[in-house]
Amino acid sequence: MSISGEYFDDLFANSDDPWAFRTRWYEHRKRDLTLAMLPRQRYARAFEPGCANGELSLRLAQRCDALLCMDMNARAVTLARERLSAHPHVEVLGGCLPQDWPAGAFDLVVISEWAYYLTPEAFAEIIERVRESLTPDGTVLACHWLHPIEGCPMDGRDVHQVLARHLAMERTIRHEERDFLLEVWSKDPRGIDLAEAVL
């Protein structure tokens, strides 16, 4: 069984930053690595489900012409909207996947630190939506904590195995440390795009 929404309600009831995304050096460094792993300098339209309070979203906004963020927790949505209010090209929605998967195509989908809250079967449904919505040159970036989390149906390594099995795309980048795994899958056979984006 996937973890219920009440779990996240409790977390955000006690803190605007329950995982210390803003303050921990570990999180700052991991965001830097995440952004460095993106194979293109610029993306036309990206989707970040599970955006929490918008800390990674703020960095992604600098690399995207349009960014759609989503979270199932109402407090997280409010916090992310406040954090991203200066960026009119960013939209933050409340929703639960897979049923609230947004319309349209994305050339980047970021799955960061939430898929282990789901069962493998529920996550496989979401991956199918990812595949259906990716552009012909689309990219999927995933980053997850590797240690067991009490009550979670999967750990980070399980998550990435399910992704690799169901995405059926080429994994172009892999970075593993003791604490987390960061991988990129791409439909673009070039891997890293060496063209400079016009900013």
**Domain ranges within the chain, ordered by starting residue:** 5-186
pLDDT interval class at 189 (50, 70, 90): low
Q: Can you give the three-state secondary structure of 21-73, one letter per residue?
A: CCCCHHHHHHHHHHHHHCCCCCEEEEEEECCCCCHHHHHHHCCEEEEEEEECC
Q: How far is CA 116 from CA 3, 73, 113, 155, 192, in A?
A: 9, 17, 7, 5, 28
- Which residue would you say has higher pLDDT here, 12 or 42? 42
Of 188, 47, 42, residue with least CA distance to 112: 47
CA distance 14 to 138: 37
Range 129-149 average pLDDT? 95
CB contact at 8 A, 73 and 5? yes
The yes-or-no verdict on residue 23 having pLDDT over 80 is: no
Residue 25 is predicted with a pLDDT of 83
pLDDT digits (tens, 9 = 90+) for 110-126: 999 999 989 999 999 99
Residue 102 is predicted with a pLDDT of 97
Residue 150 is predicted with a pLDDT of 84
Nearest 5°: the CA angle 7, 10, 16 is 120
pLDDT interval class at 1 (50, 70, 90): very low
CATH 3.40.50.150 fits 5-186, yes or no: yes
Q: How far is CA 89 from CA 58, 66, 67, in A?
A: 11, 5, 6
Residue 196 is predicted with a pLDDT of 60
CA distance 180 to 68: 25
The yes-or-no verdict on residue 163 having pLDDT over 90 is: yes
CA distance 171 to 11: 33
Residue 58 is predicted with a pLDDT of 95
CA distance 124 to 129: 9
Q: What is the residue type of 94?
A: G
Q: Rounded mean pLDDT of the chain?
A: 89
pLDDT digits (tens, 9 = 90+) for 45-75: 999 999 988 999 999 999 999 999 999 899 8
The yes-or-no verdict on residue 143 having pLDDT over 80 is: yes
Residue 14 is predicted with a pLDDT of 74
